[in-house]
Amino acid sequence: MEKICWANTEDFEQSEFVVVGIPDESQSHALRKGTEEAPSKIRQISNLRDLYERDGQISLGRPFEGTEKKVHDLGNINRPQIENIYDKISASSKIPISIGGDHSITRQIINALAKRHGKISLVYFDAHPDFVSSTTNYYGSVVNDVLPNIEIKSSVQIGIRNLEQEELDNIEKYHLEVITPFDIREQGIRQITNCVLNRLGEKVYVSFDMDCLDPAYAPGVSVPVPMGLNSTDAVYLLKEIAKKGIIGMDVMEVCPSFDVKDRTSHLASRIISEVLYSSGET
Ligand SMILES: [Mn+2]
């Protein structure tokens, strides 16, 4: 299995960050299938587009800011392995960077991490709130399914623009903070970033559904919605959150068979690099 290009140690024990692929879309109801191809595709594209060869030497196309961290790519795992593997990662104080697969995987990751970290401050980038409660344990009920393990007052959703009435009712019922793409357009990314940073608690987990982005930047997702975030704003905010410190992050819902020239997979690779390099930097 090809490793993501940002991985730089074969030694799990030595690493600060652990990349994990979870190629499973069994709890998606999307019409577009194929998110299970994303973990391998994103790794492959990272090696094609984020490496340079000069005089036979391979070097990394690194981000401008931040410092290189010790990163281990664990490879792909199956859904039933999530609990044990994330327990092992968090027990050794390493930070998991997960690549899905459908968004329901986030439920299992958060529930596994919460056993050690307690209540989590959730930053949920998505076009959809994933806050259905009449059906559970699928990609549209993630936020409902993790409610016992998150602290609502320090959690936030970003990029929301396509909701079922039931989800709007749940957002109001639980007083969940929501930032839409129009809020960012109106207030500017600096002010929105300050609001998000002020809200966050100590144990921050970032879940990044690639459909939070406008389909112009990320066409290869399983449920695209127009009028989304632009990639620079989204990653600016992500980097500022990562600088404060995160307990984990995921990149979900890339759907390579619907992509345009692999641009969504490449963006996913770049997003991972920006978070890795920015994490814990002040
Ligand atoms: Mn989602």
* Structural domains of the chain in order of their starting residue, each with its CATH number: 17-278 (3.40.800.10)
Q: Is the pLDDT of residue 282 over 90?
A: no
The continuous run of DSSP H or E covering 197 comes out as: helix 189-199
Q: How far is the CA of 147 from the centre of ligand 1 (A)?
A: 15
- Which pLDDT score, from 0 to 100, does residue 168 have? 98
Q: How far is the CA of 92 from the centre of ligand 1 (A)?
A: 28
pLDDT digits over 60-94, tens only?
999 999 999 999 999 999 999 999 999 999 999 99
The rounded distance, in Å, linking the Cα atoms of 260 and 262 is 5
pLDDT over 70 percentage in the chain: 100
pLDDT digits over 40-50, tens only?
999 999 999 99
Q: CA separation (Å) from 19 to 4, 76, 270?
A: 8, 9, 14
Show Cβ contacts of residue 30 under 8 Å, excluding neighbours closer than 6 positions: 102, 139, 222, 223, 255
Q: How far is the CA of 158 from the centre of ligand 1 (A)?
A: 11
pLDDT band at residue 160 under the 50/70/90 scheme: very high
Structure tokens at 250: 């995921």
pLDDT digits over 116-155, tens only?
999 999 999 999 999 999 999 999 999 999 999 999 999 9
pTM of the model: 0.98
Sheet holding 177-179, edge to edge: 71-76, 17-22, 95-100, 248-252, 204-209, 121-125, 156-158, 177-179
pLDDT band at residue 227 under the 50/70/90 scheme: very high
- Give the mean pLDDT of the chain: 97
8 A C-beta contact, residue 143 and residue 107: no
What is the sign, positive or negative, of the torsion defined by CA atoms of 166, 172, 173, 178? positive
Q: How far is the CA of 60 from the centre of ligand 1 (A)?
A: 31
- Which pLDDT score, from 0 to 100, does residue 1 have? 79
